[in-house]
Structure 1
């Protein structure tokens, strides 16, 4: 995020005593004072009346100024720039006192997404003094965020305090901070307010992109601008050869060394630089593996999202157009575009990727008419856990598309530990999956495992060679 955000501007509660209730301490003080006064009058004992006087006077003095307004609670989150996995996250839960009476005790508690590991929390601000050591935030326990515990402070009249939360973002996505709530004790602890709860604020955490570089040429480019060298002669920077000068050739292309040797004008021929369209297709029909965050194991969705961000960043940096498609019941899509703005749009689009099971074949729903360009490179990120995914890849290959399948199934996926036939069934499933991958390769669909930099180089080289090979046609 690029600026502070809040769940809602703090609203002022109506000036009334609604929402405040007596505490057990008030009931005990009234009961003790009443019993002593009644007993002193009935028994004629002045000492009992004297003993009741401190309880009655103390209660009356504490209730001389009763609060009428409930506290205001809001959540703010501010980041200097886009928050990426592994980056530092900070938020604050604010509590304001719009009343003219001091709040003796304020108990604040907030829920935080488990993927936001809050390691430090405490009240900041110049209004109240720091809470006593017994109320200070303790060190986080193993596997638990310090935000899971309540925090206590006091708020003077007309002031506000902030409970600052700081930690680390462990995983991509939209993670909530909140809801947060506060309860207040006033009048010496004799009155307590109802809980005031505010709505959560979403924190956007973008995926961390692994280094990725594909140096091979695209199978077939579409436009006449870009960084890829096509097989078509034209204006560009890649030398295609030297040929005899022809009418229309520019003089700056004349190769004088060859011309002097051959005693005839020759020009240097170049290949045109062309842009390409890359379609990244995300298979979201199934999820496998357990996500351990940025420092732990990666699930299928983790690998899919991070690889998509890396591929999009690479090709958009080279000036190509990138579009995204979801192969699932939602069939979300992002139109093709180029530039820095498209990359930021891609990151925002990836935050909403979810695994969804589909009851029917989503092929026709995902691939509408005229949706895919015939020259586009289709990179399919799939765990190949659903037979419909393999059928989709085969149909794209039969339609003449340039398809590359990237296997996103975790390599360290462990078999089930149940007794009986679970391990045997797991081994049979692995064999069946390897057979499916072999059949896809027979259909002309290359299947590679995502490994960061250079994962697609060999595949793109083979696809480019097939795209430029002569095709036999029937007369």
Structure 2
């Protein structure tokens, strides 16, 4: 997990004396001492003057060294190791004391994304018995609405309550937060704030705030492997066998030696038998371009994090990461497209760097509904190679998605549609016509899938390893089949 640079704290300059205010305790002490002194002088009561002396002297002694600068607050997030769903996340909220006097009491509080379940929190080197009162991370709690950004089945984080400590002069104290990342995405730690009490609790500072720090959580790659051949390989080198002669590992036959052939290709058995040099001919190994198209027009289902149920976006992002990792590991080129108003694009490339770029690109995937048809915006001129395999991850909740698949198939593209709608999508619980409407919608969706298959678009449900094997086998067979031409 790579943390951003430490932001500048929002505090006053060291020469400034603003930002500190008297507390009610200071007002009570001054008021009580003044009343006793005035009463003692007016009534000639020495005992009242003596009684007021401890309050006056105590207040003066506490204010003899008043702070002149505000505290500094900043947030640091973890180490440089990549953080994946389900991994351990760590962060720290630091409070610094640039003054020459001690801070008697510091109250620190920080907001944390609900997808970062903070189960342990406390100041470094300071025992915090209150932290043990927090509920365990696996304690059952009431469900929250995912639309509000809260994961289903999780409760309040330990970091939701304030923490109290003291900070010596010219020192800093770290509030360490540790827990578990529940879901992919960019999750904020912060903003954080601190207020300080000094001079024996007679002065209190204004709240000093610092901006949030983003924590990047990469999607967990689901097991995926497609052992079938690509429909058509277009590159010069790669792992897929083509029908063109060239350097490769697939034997195509034996032919007579010709100028330019390598000696290591000489088949000595055939040459001795025919009394003429023969070489083993091979088929070239070529790479392919895989375009993963993410349908972000709609979102459905409840996201329960890495251990719970998966929404449409969860399935889409994790499946994209798995498909990209598989084909990039085989040496193919992978590009990403969003089918939505944003029309984000990641250009095709190969290698380890492209895989890391894919993971970074997926962190910004969001459902973005639009009333306009984004086809022309997404598929501009020469945006898709004619030899590319287009894997479309779609929940088929919008009629425009089905129309897009049909247009790609009619254009001669090799298209595979992966259904990302959750299989356990619950029907509405409302009484009346809601259940009937849900059944009719299901029937209409099945009809749409059947029509897509009639247009030559295979539709399969994502199921991890081997999800696309049968489909790729059919697509490869159709790609190599002879085409009927007109004279």
TM, length-normalised to structure 2: 0.91
Give CA-to-partner distance per residue, 1:256-314, whole Å, 9 cap, x none.
44556677765433221001001000000000001111111110000100111111111
Contact preservation (8 Å) 2:4, 2:77: yes
Contact preservation (8 Å) 1:4, 1:79: no
Give CA-to-partner distance per residue, 1:96-141, whole Å, 9 cap, x none.
11111110000000000001111111111599999999999999x9
Matched, 1:209 2:217: no
Task: Decide which moves more: 451-460 or 129-138.
Answer: 129-138
Contact preservation (8 Å) 1:10, 1:74: no
Cα 1:389–1:226 change in 2 (3 A) is same
- Quote how far apart the aligned CAs of 1:65 are: 1.1
Give CA-to-partner distance per residue, 1:304-329, whole Å, 9 cap, x none.
00111111111111111111000000
Give CA-to-partner distance per residue, 1:245-265, whole Å, 9 cap, x none.
666654533444455667776
Cα 1:142–1:113 change in 2 (3 A) is closer
- Quote how far apart the aligned CAs of 1:2 are: 4.0
- Quote how far apart the aligned CAs of 1:15 are: 2.0
**3-state SS of 2:147 partner:** coil
Cα 1:75–1:135 change in 2 (3 A) is farther
Contact preservation (8 Å) 2:119, 2:136: no
Contact preservation (8 Å) 2:331, 2:351: yes
- Quote how far apart the aligned CAs of 1:49 are: 1.5
Q: Which of 424, 427, 438 is the equivalent residue of 1:415? A: 427
Give CA-to-partner distance per residue, 1:159-181, whole Å, 9 cap, x none.
11111111111110000000000
Contact preservation (8 Å) 1:130, 1:153: no
Structure 2 gaps of 5+ residues are: 126-133
Give CA-to-partner distance per residue, 1:52-94, whole Å, 9 cap, x none.
1111111111111111100000011132411111111111111
Task: Decide which moves more: 55-64 or 194-203.
Answer: 55-64
| 1:46-445 alignment runs, 5 A limit | 46-124=46-124, 143-243=155-255, 249-258=261-270, 267-445=279-457
Cα 1:213–1:224 change in 2 (3 A) is same
How many angstroms apart in 2 are the aligned matches of 1:386 and 1:352?
21
**3-state SS of 2:315 partner:** helix
Cα 1:260–1:205 change in 2 (3 A) is same
Cα 1:142–1:387 change in 2 (3 A) is closer
Contact preservation (8 Å) 2:102, 2:198: yes
How many angstroms apart in 1 are the aligned matches of 2:350 and 2:471?
24
Structure 1 gaps of 5+ residues are: none
Contact preservation (8 Å) 2:141, 2:155: no
Contact preservation (8 Å) 1:127, 1:156: no
**3-state SS of 1:128 partner:** coil
Give CA-to-partner distance per residue, 1:365-421, whole Å, 9 cap, x none.
000001100000000000000000000000000000000000000111000100111
How many angstroms apart in 2 are the aligned matches of 1:58 and 1:135?
52
TM, length-normalised to structure 1: 0.93
Cα 1:44–1:127 change in 2 (3 A) is farther
Task: Decide which moves more: 381-390 or 237-246.
Answer: 237-246
Contact preservation (8 Å) 1:277, 1:336: yes
- Quote how far apart the aligned CAs of 1:41 are: 1.9
**3-state SS of 1:166 partner:** strand
How many angstroms apart in 2 are the aligned matches of 1:96 and 1:41?
46
The Cα RMSD (Å) is: 4.9
Contact preservation (8 Å) 1:185, 1:193: yes
